[in-house]
Amino acid sequence: MTTDRNRATSWLSESGKKISENILLKVYETHEKEHRAFLDLHYKNRNYYMTLISALLAIFVGGMLQFYKEISSFILFIIPISIIVLSELAKKTMDRYYRSFLESVVILAKIEHFWRLDGAFKINDSKSPKILWPEDKQFVLDRWINDRYKHESSQQFITERMRMGDNRYAHWVFTILEAITITLVFLSIWILLQVHFN
């Protein structure tokens, strides 16, 4: 938990600079758009690299099936090298966009905390209709709250989340594509050695 000393130097403290609600609202709106944009870029780039790498893999396999009897077929090994390079580039690109997405999530979470959206609201009208989901203790979803309060710093939150969710699945996909490519390379080398040097 946060100590009194840490709270005094925290991003939200009595010694901090005052900020107007209008500025906070503008910051919130900006990061709300950005966090969606970064996640969208994450999806689009993942699909782009997957399509490109899958096409190159198909070209390599098709080329080997067609030209394995030709000595010039060795030039096709440029393709798997390109696939490995593209896969690593894809992982770095995914990480960059996903980190930017998570950083925007952190800013939004801090503003929501400042506005007390992670707590309960006071009802001014005693004759209000029945409350929707009365067992919820705060406005923000429980899962979001648990994820936020599990860490002492936003960096810890980001570091953990980088290895989870869509980013983890994207890494798995490109790692599997790399493994398939390496397997096909060794198989192709074995076939070419059998054909040309036996």
In a domain? residue 44:
yes
Q: Where are the alpha helices (DSSP H) in the chain?
A: 4-8, 21-67, 78-114, 142-149, 154-162, 165-196
Residue 7 domain flag: no
Count CA atoms closer than 13 A to 155's CA, side-chain side. Answer: 0
Nearest to 83 by CA among 167, 189, 174: 174
Name every residue whose Cβ is closer than 8 Å to that of residue 80 and which is 6 or more positions away in sequence. 60, 181, 182, 184, 185
Q: Give pLDDT, residue 129.
A: 65
Could you tell me if residue 13 is inside a domain? no
DSSP letter for 19, please.
-
Q: What is the pLDDT of residues 156-171, one digit of tens each?
A: 989 998 999 889 999 9
The verdict on residue 95 lying in a domain is yes
| pLDDT in the model for residue 69 | 85
The answer to pTM > 0.85 is: no
Q: Which residues contact 10 (CB under 8 A, 6 or more apart)?
A: 2
Q: What is the mean pLDDT of residues 121-145?
A: 71
pLDDT reading at 2 higher than 60 = no
Does 94 reside within a domain? Answer: yes
Mean pLDDT across the stretch 2-28?
64
| Burial class of 100 by CB neighbour count within 10 A (0 to 12, 13 to 18, 19+) | middle
Instruction: For residue 187, tell me if it sits in a domain.
Output: yes
Residues present in the chain in total:
198
pLDDT of residue 5: 45
pLDDT tens-digit series, residues 34-93: 888 999 999 999 999 999 999 999 999 999 999 888 888 889 999 999 999 999 999 999
Residue-wise pLDDT for 108-117, tens only, equals: 888 888 777 7
Q: Which residue has the higher pLDDT, 142 or 74?
A: 74
Is residue 136 scored above 80 in pLDDT?
no
What is the average pLDDT value for the chain, to the nearest integer? 84
Tally of domains in the chain? 1
CA pair distance 46, 57, nearest whole angstrom: 16
Range of the domain at 73: 19-119+135-196
Name the band, by pLDDT with cuts 50, 70 and 90, for residue 1. very low
Residue 86 lies in a domain: yes
